[in-house]
Amino acid sequence: MQRPLIAVTTSSRTGWRVFPLINLNLWITGGRGVRWGVGRVVDLEDVDGLIIGGGDDIGPELYGGKLGISARLDPDRDELERCLAEAALDQNIPVLGICRGSQMLNVALGGTLDQDAWTTYGPDRKIKTILPKREICVEEATHLSLISGEQPMKVNALHTQAVDKLGEGLRVSARDTGGMVQAIERVRDPFALGVQWHPEHLFYAHGQRAIFRALVAAADAYRQERNQTRAMRDELA
């Protein structure tokens, strides 16, 4: 059976090492990835799902903010990923946002970000590591709770920004113990989930693999429906 093809956006600085790890997670959950970034040509018509990866901070001009502490900006990537997120959601293509990608999903739907989240929530609570040392609580009756369970989870944290005002049609699906938003999701179809942590580093944990598995399942369903629609259109032509 053909594996669903997932486009993965990455940073121009770190994508060379991030994409293989995300692709590994996709492969072990039944999918396959193709790297997409500024200067790399991929058509949404050719893919079944989209992952917006982590890395650079998002420029505040995208959500009406002011330039503050953000130092690692990539305006070209910002524009690419915002357009991709908007187009994917409009075309019912499943989307998973990872760290920055979760923030971009929120911005694409009209939300805002806290540029200096650790100042807001307390610098003493700051944890920056790929190791699972931050505890989060999953909200009941959310898509994430059905995917990974409702029990508290230990996750990693590499971010400085965080979701502030929610975008249209989104809800919070997890917070950490200090109240900071750690996961968001679209209330209705298509599948759209954003997680503030990096589940690709936690592939040994069942609840983290389940996030990729859920994306792959949604992408496979989208591919089958799209192919059926195309076949019917060809018959009528």
**Which residues are known catalytic residues?**
99, 198, 200
Cβ within 8 Å of residue 166, ≥6 positions away: 106, 111, 172, 184
Tokens coding 5: 């093809």
d(CA 142, CA 181): 14
Q: Is residue 201 classed as helix, strand or coil in its secondary structure?
A: helix
**Residues facing 163 on adjacent strands:** 113
> Which one-letter DSSP state was computed for residue 73?
B
Of 123, 104, 114, give the one whose Cα is nearest residue 184: 104
Residue type, position 146, single letter: L
